[in-house]
């Protein structure tokens, strides 16, 4: 539920604010400049997340997962509520969008803390034979939140029309989902305070370190020795995760509306169906990886992604099927084949680090890897100089799949790691990241 609230907040400005962006920009602003403003609002959140992972990863590994989750979720709940009451360009001028971007940056910091603390807490309570399923269940928060916020926006636009600057949706309708996002965050804080206990594994590790007089900085420990090799391997793997995700979550919708001329309503219906199926695919990925192994699954999935996924993606943007049903099926299959590896993200990364640095390793490895892929628009612009723009996602998809393949081959199998026995890995000189005999 925490990850659902997290993802709901992330996509608020992308989906909800798109029909109401005129509220925050000058009427004389060009379409390209307006697009830059919208992109900056989203980018501010992404830039804040790695910072939050550093800050709250350290806190989660020192003061506890539960307390850190309460602070981080409460923080982005307040930030989201403040955004809901922001005045627009007519009242503050350019300061309104600057204030929006600043609040989203702070929001991003707290959002980076939510999964950094809450996911290790959940994984440390999960029996290792069910971690694949529970980790995938957590990750369904992304597709379910994307589908929920898309449907909510579609319903609001039917009830509260958007149009010019003075239309009801532009003036106040967009605020409703932001208030809902804040209320869900506060409800989650209340639940954590009243019903969630601290990780027993963390408490045992903290007590052991106290008895031994240890307990240095988790961040410093993360970036040396065996932990550094684990982090670098996770960074490569997650770089592939993020790059391939952007080909479906960011690039494909634009191509569907631009190149194929899909209406906003048809696009929303297509994506909602695709993301609901994706949620089920996440669960399937987690269960399959529990049987055949995380490493084996990631290797096989990356190869399928680079071949089958790329070919099906080409069928969407190349021949461009005119039948909406066929298009929905293709988009759903492509989204699933490319994105279902995310069902392993929470489980696998937590399994790569021991308790003392698990929150830091998970949060920073998950978030920091987003930065190079976040410049996907610039990569597309470079590719556009020698190939049609609609085909630019294809090489990026192949590169992302190769990064996943390299990261999976580099790392060890983790499905049988027992957190309570603190199974560690040590890099051999010629085989970094291999298990200690």
Name the percent of the chain in helix, strand, coil, to the closest 5: 80, 0, 20
pLDDT recorded at residue 394: 96
**Confidence bin at 361 (pLDDT 50/70/90):** very high
Structure tokens at 179: 């208030």
Please say whether the beta carbons of 233 and 411 come within 8 A. Answer: yes
Identify which of 37-41, 236-240, 376-380 has the greatest average pLDDT.
236-240
What distance in Å separates the CA atoms of residue 275 and residue 253, rounded to the nearest whole number?
Answer: 13
**Confidence bin at 183 (pLDDT 50/70/90):** very high
Token look-up 């989906």 returns 15
pLDDT recorded at residue 31: 65
What distance in Å separates the CA atoms of residue 275 and residue 270, rounded to the nearest whole number?
Answer: 9
**Confidence bin at 302 (pLDDT 50/70/90):** very high
Of the candidate ranges 43-47, 155-159, 221-225, 237-241, the one whose mean pLDDT is the lowest: 43-47
- 255 has pLDDT over 90: no
Paired strand residues for 33: none
Summary mean pLDDT of the chain: 87
- 136 has pLDDT over 90: yes
Nearest to 7 by CA among 265, 360, 345: 345
Identify which of 22-31, 40-49, 122-131, 248-257 has the greatest average pLDDT.
122-131
CA–CA distances in Å: residue 360 to residues 3, 27, 199, 375: 17, 44, 15, 24
Identify which of 203-207, 357-361, 406-410 has the greatest average pLDDT.
406-410
CATH number for 2-421 (one of 3.40.50.10190, 1.20.1250.20, 3.90.1150.10, 3.30.200.20): it is: 1.20.1250.20
- Tens digit of pLDDT for each residue in 3-60? 899 889 888 887 888 888 888 887 877 766 776 777 778 778 878 888 999 899 889 8
Domain ranges of the chain: 2-421
Global pTM reads 0.85
């Amino acid at each position: 539920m925490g990850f659902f609230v997290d993802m709901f907040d992330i996509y608020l400005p992308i989906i909800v604010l798109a029909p109401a962006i005129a509220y925050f920009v000058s009427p004389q602003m060009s379409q390209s400049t307006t697009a830059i403003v919208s992109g900056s609002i989203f980018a501010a959140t992404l830039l804040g997340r790695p910072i939050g992972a550093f800050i709250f990863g350290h806190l989660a590994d020192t003061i506890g997962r539960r307390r850190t989750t309460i602070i981080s979720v409460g923080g982005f709940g307040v930030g989201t509520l403040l955004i809901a009451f922001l005045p627009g360009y007519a009242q503050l001028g350019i300061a309104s969008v600057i204030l929006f971007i600043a609040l989203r940056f702070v929001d991003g910091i707290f959002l980076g803390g939510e999964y950094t603390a809450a996911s290790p807490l959940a994984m440390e309570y999960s029996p290792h034979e069910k971690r694949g399923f529970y980790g995938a269940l957590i990750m369904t928060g992304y597709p379910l939140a994307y589908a929920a916020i898309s449907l909510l926006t579609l319903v609001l636009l039917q009830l509260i029309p958007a149009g010019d600057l003075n239309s009801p949706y532009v003036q106040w309708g967009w605020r409703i989902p932001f208030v809902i996002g804040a209320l869900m965050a506060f409800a989650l804080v209340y639940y954590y305070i009243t019903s969630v206990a601290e990780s027993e594994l963390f408490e045992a590790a903290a007590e052991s370190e106290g008895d031994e007089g240890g307990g240095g900085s988790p961040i410093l420990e993360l970036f040396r020795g065996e932990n550094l090799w684990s982090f670098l391997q996770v960074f490569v793997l997650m770089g592939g995760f993020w790059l391939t995700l952007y080909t479906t979550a960011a690039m494909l919708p634009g191509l569907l509306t631009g190149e194929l001329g899909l209406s906003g309503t048809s696009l929303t219906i297509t994506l909602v169906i695709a993301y609901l199926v994706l949620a089920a695919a996440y669960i399937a990925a987690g269960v399959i990886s529990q049987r055949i192994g995380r490493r084996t699954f990631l290797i096989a999935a990356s190869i399928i992604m680079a071949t089958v996924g790329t070919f099906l993606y080409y069928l969407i943007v190349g021949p461009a099927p005119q039948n909406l049903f066929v298009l929905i099926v293709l988009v759903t299959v492509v989204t699933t084949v490319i994105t279902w590896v995310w069902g392993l993200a929470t489980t696998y990364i937590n399994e790569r680090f021991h308790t003392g640095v698990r929150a830091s390793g998970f949060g920073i490895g998950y978030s920091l890897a987003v930065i190079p892929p976040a410049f996907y628009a610039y990569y597309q612009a470079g590719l556009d100089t020698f190939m049609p723009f609609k085909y630019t996602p294809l090489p990026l998809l192949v590169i992302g799949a190769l990064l996943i393949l390299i990261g999976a081959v580099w790392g060890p199998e983790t499905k049988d790691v027992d957190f309570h026995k603190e199974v560690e890995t040590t890099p051999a000189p010629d085989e970094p990241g291999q298990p200690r005999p």
